[in-house]
């Protein structure tokens, strides 16, 4: 497949507007402005684009819900809080091709009737902030942002808001709270952001990669776009592969490429010719898979059928030398650290899990610890305020399910690891 989203990423200085323009940036704007906003929404619906942030919500539907709410003041927020461990896809667009994102946001804003946009950038991307701010300044200077864009009477203002370093702010309602200057904690839904989001106004929140797809959908038409990749969730998908592979990196492939193809064809197989032990297919909160799952298609529905989730498409590959207790420990530590503390099960449950894992790591595992871990997961399950707590138990449940022997060995031997 010819690269779309990452087309300009390899071009030197493509984050400069002049270079980007030479390579087709902002080409879809005038086509979009030639359509009625409702037709832009319909085009995206025809493309059956699903959100790339992890939940896979149909983007066109999200837009339609917001566009339908009466009122002139609406917001478009770009979720650039790429915090899911293992995920590196958005960073490439933010660093190398910010104009693709800006173009996508201007079109989205036009479609939903929002004249104000914010890019909520994760704190840990310090380099991106300068690049984005420069890109926005250039886009203003060239008239792709601001008042009366392309002389078509479309207004769109855009600025960057830097987060304060919390995983939870990738959750859309916590992101809104944080943007409003409040503590990063998820909000009660309903009301959903589409009707009452930022500052209680209708708001659409899309992931960087989702918004970056928009210019192509407008450019090639929704029907043509829908023919790319998996039928249930078409389009290109950026997979970020890390771990024990020969060529880790970011790969743009059609949605639904198999795990085997990603690891063995594109990433050159497992390092040192070792055997594959485990794969996390979509970031830290997606259940761990094993070698037996290698032929799963990497799209939303196929992965759910396989007992996991596409998440952000961050593939983490582990070879046979890896002790899965260590892996679960690291992930649980992350979630316990990032739990916002609002709801009881997530706050207390992740902390308890972390205490048990810390014991295991110190060689102080006890008979019955596996049952205890499953008990805690059961305690947390289905009761949390937001998906963080539900995600936090996935590494525990799936690692015990597939690699119980690792736990038993750890408890028996009492090995201390760091």
Partner 1 sequence: MENTVTVTIDGITVKVKPTATILDAAKQAGVRIPVLCADDKLHPYGSCRICLVEIEKSPRKFTPSCTTPVADNMVVKTMTPDLFEARKRILELLLCHHPLDCPVCDKAGNCQLQDLVHEYGLGPSKFTEKKRVVPPNYKSAVIDREVARCVLCGKCVRVCREQNAVGELAFTRRGKESKVSTDFDQQLDCEFCGECVEICPVGALTTKQFKYRGRTWNMERTQSVCNYCGCGCRMVYETRQGRIVRVRSAARNYLCGKGRFGWDAVHHADRLTTPLVRVSGELVPATWDEALAMVVTNLNVIKNKRGADSIGGLGSVRTTNEESYLFQKFMRSAIGTNNVDMLARLKVPKGLNTTFFSGELSNISGHDVVLVLDGDVAELNPLTGIEIVRAVNRNYKKLILVNSGYNKLNRIASCVLEYVSPDAALADLLPALKSGQGTGAVADAAAILKEATSVAVIIPARLPDGTYYQVRELLSLLKGATTYPVVKRSNFLGALDMGVLPGYYPGYQKVSPDVVSRFASAWNCMLPEIPGKNALEMLDAIKQGSIAALYIMGDDPAGSDAGLKPVLEKLEFLVVQDIFLTETAKMADVVLPAVSSAEKAGTLTSLERRLQGISPAEEPLGDAQPDWNILQTVAKKMGSAMHYASPSDIMKEIRALVPLYADLAVGSVWPAEKSPLHGSETNLSLLSDSVEKNDVITSERLLFSSGTTTTRSKELTTVCTFKVEA
Q: Please give the residue ranges that form the binding site for partner 1 (CB under 8 A).
A: 166, 168, 183, 185, 188, 190, 336-345, 347-352, 355-356, 359, 372, 375, 378-379, 382-385
Is 10 or 364 the residue whose CB approaches partner 1 more closely?
364
* Contacting residues for 306 by C-beta, under 8 A, at least 6 apart: 289, 293, 296
* Contacting residues for 184 by C-beta, under 8 A, at least 6 apart: 163, 164, 166, 168, 169, 174, 175, 177, 178, 340
Is 274 or 359 the residue whose CB approaches partner 1 more closely?
359
Q: Where would I find the beta strands (DSSP E) of 165-287?
A: 203-207, 236-243, 249-254, 276-280
Q: How far is the CB of 335 from partner 1 (least distance, A)?
A: 9
Is 177 or 406 the residue whose CB approaches partner 1 more closely?
177
Is 85 or 256 the residue whose CB approaches partner 1 more closely?
85
Q: How far is the CB of 381 from partner 1 (least distance, A)?
A: 8
Q: How far is the CB of 51 from partner 1 (least distance, A)?
A: 19
The label of the residue with tokens 């066109």 reads: 60
Is 201 or 347 the residue whose CB approaches partner 1 more closely?
347
Is 271 or 359 the residue whose CB approaches partner 1 more closely?
359
- Residue 413: both structure tokens together: 């031997």
Q: How far is the CB of 375 from partner 1 (least distance, A)?
A: 6
Instruction: Indicate the angle between helix axes 59-68 and 37-46, nearest 10 degrees.
Output: 160
Rounded to whole angstroms, the Cα distance separating 231 from 233 reads 6
Strand order in the sheet with 203-207: 146-149, 154-162, 116-121, 75-80, 203-207
Q: Residue 258 has what DSSP assignment? A: B
CB atoms within 10 A of CB 94: 28
Rounded to whole angstroms, the Cα distance separating 312 from 297 reads 15
Under the phi-then-psi rule, with left for phi > 0, alpha for psi from -120 to 50, and beta for the rest, what region is 13? left
The label of the residue with tokens 């799209």 reads: 299
Q: How far is the CB of 188 from partner 1 (least distance, A)?
A: 5
Q: How far is the CB of 364 from partner 1 (least distance, A)?
A: 11
In degrees rounded to 5, what are phi and psi of residue 392?
A: -65, -30
Is 257 or 350 the residue whose CB approaches partner 1 more closely?
350
- Please check whether residue 260 is in contact with residue 274, taking contact to mean a CB–CB distance below 8 angstroms: no
Q: How far is the CB of 133 from partner 1 (least distance, A)?
A: 28
- Please enumerate, as own/partner, the contacts of 410-416 that have beta carbons within 8 Å and a separation of 24 or more: 410/323, 410/325, 410/360, 410/365, 411/360, 411/365, 411/366, 411/367, 411/369, 411/370, 413/363, 414/363, 414/364, 414/365, 415/363, 416/361, 416/362, 416/363
Q: How far is the CB of 283 from partner 1 (least distance, A)?
A: 19
Q: How far is the CB of 67 from partner 1 (least distance, A)?
A: 23
Q: How far is the CB of 111 from partner 1 (least distance, A)?
A: 29
CA torsion sign, 114 to 99 to 166 to 50?
positive
The label of the residue with tokens 């990196």 reads: 249
Kindly compute the dihedral angle of the four CA atoms of residues 67, 70, 74, 77, in this order, to the nearest 10 degrees: -30
């Amino acid at each position: 497949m010819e690269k779309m989203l990452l087309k300009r990423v390899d071009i030197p200085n493509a984050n400069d507007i002049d270079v980007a323009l030479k390579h087709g940036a902002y080409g879809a704007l005038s086509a979009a402005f030639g359509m009625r906003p409702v037709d832009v929404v319909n085009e995206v619906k025809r493309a059956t684009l699903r959100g790339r942030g992890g939940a896979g919500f149909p983007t066109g539907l999200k837009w339609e819900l917001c566009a339908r709410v009466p009122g002139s003041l609406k917001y478009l927020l770009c979720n650039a809080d790429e915090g899911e461990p293992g995920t590196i896809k958005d960073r490439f667009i933010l660093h190398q091709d910010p104009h693709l994102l800006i173009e996508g946001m201007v079109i989205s804003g036009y479609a939903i009737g929002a004249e104000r946009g914010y890019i909520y950038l994760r704190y840990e991307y310090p380099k991106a902030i300068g690049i984005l701010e420069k890109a926005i300044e250039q886009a203003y200077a060239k008239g792709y942002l601001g008042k009366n864009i392309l002389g078509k009477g479309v207004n769109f203002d855009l600025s960057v808001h830097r987060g304060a370093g919390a995983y939870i702010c990738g959750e859309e309602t916590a992101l809104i709270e944080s943007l409003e200057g409040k503590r990063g904690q998820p909000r009660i839904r309903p009301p959903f952001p589409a009707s009452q989001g930022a500052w209680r106004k209708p708001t659409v929140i899309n992931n960087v990669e989702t918004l970056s797809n928009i210019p192509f959908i407008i450019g090639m038409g929704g029907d043509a776009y829908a023919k790319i990749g998996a039928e249930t969730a078409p389009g290109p998908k950026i997979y970020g592969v890390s771990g024990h592979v020969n060529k880790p990196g970011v790969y743009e492939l059609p949605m639904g490429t198999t795990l085997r193809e990603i690891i063995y064809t594109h990433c050159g197989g497992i390092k040192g010719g070792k055997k594959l032990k485990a794969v996390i297919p979509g970031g830290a909160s997606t259940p761990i898979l094993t070698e037996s799952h290698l032929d799963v298609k990497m799209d939303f529905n196929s992965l759910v059928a396989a007992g996991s989730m596409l998440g952000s498409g961050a593939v983490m590959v582990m070879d046979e030398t890896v002790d899965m207790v260590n892996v679960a420990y690291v992930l649980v530590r992350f979630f316990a650290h990032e739990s916002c503390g609002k709801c009881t099960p997530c706050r207390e449950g992740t902390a308890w899990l972390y205490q048990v894992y810390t014991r295991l790591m110190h060689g102080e595992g006890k008979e019955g610890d596996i049952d205890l871990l499953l008990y805690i997961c059961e305690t947390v399950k289905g009761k949390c305020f937001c998906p963080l707590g539900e995600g936090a138990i996935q590494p525990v449940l799936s690692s015990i399910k597939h690699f119980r022997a690792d736990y038993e060995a750890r408890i028996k031997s009492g090995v201390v690891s760091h």
